[in-house]
Amino acid sequence: MTNPQSSGLPESPLSDAERLILELERRAAALQSDQEQVPLVPLLTFSLNNEWFALPLDKVKVVARLVEVTPVPGTSRYILGIINHKSALYPLVDVHELLSLEPQFPTRSSRFVIVSHENYTFAMLVDTMAEVREVKSNDLGTQVRTGTEVSRYISSELTIDFRLVGLLNLDAILNSVSDGAINLATY
């Protein structure tokens, strides 16, 4: 029979501090593993009247500098007209009007964002482009639950760089622009 102390290896139970450190390391590794499994979603962020919004990058076809807008009589009140970008015509949706925001006079920072959703492609005028940010897909689940008309155009809210950002609900926007003629999904 061998004595553990005679083999040169002292028997020392872990102290409370050592057990705590090992448990914290185990939890950190588990948290890191969970974070790596959550897919990231790239979002294009921009401002409208000093409020921040985003669109899924896979819905954005192109971001373009300002071009001339041609008014089209008899369209929805949410359509400012059409734009011609590289020989293609796109209706220009007035997102300021939809969101009950004061329209801004276009500046050098203003851009057209051409969006493709379902079978529809349209343009939106944004005041300032920010950047593309990747967020965890599970951060997009925060549904906006208020009684205001604006909230139906926001599918979720999230915080990016200490800013509250509303993810635009393209189904609701298209439904309003078409005066209910398009029913893509329930929202």
Mark 149-172 as b/e (b = at least 16 C-beta within 10 Å): eebbbbbbbbebeeeebbbbbbbb
pLDDT in tens, 135-162: 887 777 666 555 555 578 888 888 888 8
Instruction: Give me the percent of the chain exceeding a pLDDT of 70.
Output: 82
At residue 6, does pLDDT exceed 80?
Answer: no
pLDDT of residue 43: 92
Instruction: Provide the mean pLDDT of the chain.
Output: 82
pLDDT of residue 134: 87
pLDDT in tens, 86-117: 999 999 999 999 888 988 888 888 899 999 98
Give the Cα separation of 176 and 19 in Å (integer).
59
